[in-house]
Structure 1
Amino acid sequence: MFELATDGPRMIVCGVDGSDPSLHAAAYAWGLARRSGARLVLVYAVPVAAMSTLTPGGAAVLREAAEQVAEEMRTELAKAAERTHVAYEFRTEAGDAAAVLSKIADEVRADAVVVGASAQAGHRLVGSVAVRLVRAGRWPVTVVP
């Protein structure tokens, strides 16, 4: 027999990058964590652009932009945490989004992964972060539009 308060996810990982779909995913994951009493790990995978290292100062500019995006997300999360109490952690890590999310989801033993839907046309051919996470098949993946 299931207990009502313990049959949902206890650890949720959510990918964020500042885009509208990722912010919708974060809002959904936040609500899910609040309702189920779960811990939430929000992950910003900082893209590593190989071409940026070929230009003088290119890597520094990308690093600075990524730090600015991360800081803005931290500020917004702190505001949200004041309104609704959710145990959360915000992590940033450089690398491919699907690989970073997979690694962290495995590390924290996630019960669920939440990501925003990709709007990029190329992802229909190569596969979006969500599709790659689903193919990994280790956790339920929710894709939020």
Structure 2
Amino acid sequence: MRDGPSTILVGVDGSTSSLRAAAYALGLARRQGSRLIAVYVRTPPSALLPLADTGGAAATVIDTQDALEQELRTAFAERLHGVDVDARLVVRAGEPYTELCDAAREVQADAVIVGRSANVLHRVAGSIGNKLVRCGRWPVTVVP
């Protein structure tokens, strides 16, 4: 019998707060003997971008996401080296809130951890952390 979550899902996007959230989740998973699922959601460029794209912005967005994915995979492997935790990195494409909810449902997560949004607009419109808390399906920890 466990006294904590058996499966922890953490959202990562390369931001400082998401990397802090991943470090916190890794420590929690190690201490609790939990499975750790890190999810990176690639946001596809707008369907209209190629129509107005004369400078290759769509390719730049995709290249940036490819580079970030590779950095996350490398950092994930380095952080897990020598740590006894059942962990994996999952890469999905779509809207971050929807994909995190779907992933949490699929892996039957007992806890969701995300980093605090640095976007000022999210304070008005609501961040992913706020949306996950309001969703009410999992305990959510928002790491500053």
Give TM-score scaled by structure 2 length: 0.92
Kept after mapping to 2: 8 A contact 1:13/1:43? yes
In the alignment, is the contact (CA less than 8 A) between 1:113 and 1:142 conserved in 2?
yes
| 2:43 maps to 1:53 | no
Q: CA deviation at 1:89?
A: 1.0
Shift of residue 90, structure 1, vs aligned partner: 0.4
Instruction: Supply the distance in 2 between the matched residues of 1:66 and 1:77 (Cα, whole angstroms).
Output: 16
Q: For this pair of structures, how many residues does the alignment match? A: 141
Name stretches of at least 5 consecutive residues in structure 2 with no aligned partner: none
Q: Match for residue 122 of structure 2?
A: 123
Q: Once structures 1 and 2 are overlaid, which stretch shifts more, 117-126 or 51-60?
A: 51-60
Paired position in structure 2 for 1:29: 25
What is the root-mean-square deviation of aligned Cα atoms in Å?
A: 1.3
Q: Give a deviation string over 1:62-109, Cα, whole Å, max 9, x none.
A: 122111101111111111111322111101111111111001000000
What amino acid maps onto 1:9 in structure 2?
Answer: P
The residue type paired with residue 13 of structure 1 is L
- The letter of the residue matching 2:97 is A
Tell me the distance in 1 between the aligned counterparts of 2:139 and 2:50: 36
C-alpha distance in 2 between matches for 1:84 and 1:22: 20
Alpha-carbon distance in 2 for matches of 1:28, 1:99? 23
| Superposition pairs of residues 11-30 of structure 1, within 5 angstroms | 11-30=7-26
Q: Which amino acid aligns with 1:117?
A: R
Letter in 1 for 2:122: H
Once the two structures are TM-superposed, the CA of residue 7 in structure 1 deviates from its matched residue by: 1.6
Using the size of structure 1 for normalisation, the TM-score is 0.91
Provide the C-alpha distance between the structure 2 equivalents of 1:18 and 1:28, rounded to a whole number of angstroms: 15
The runs of 5 or more residues in structure 1 that have no matched partner are none
Moved over 2 A (4+): 51-54, 56-61
Identity of counterpart residues, as a percentage? 46
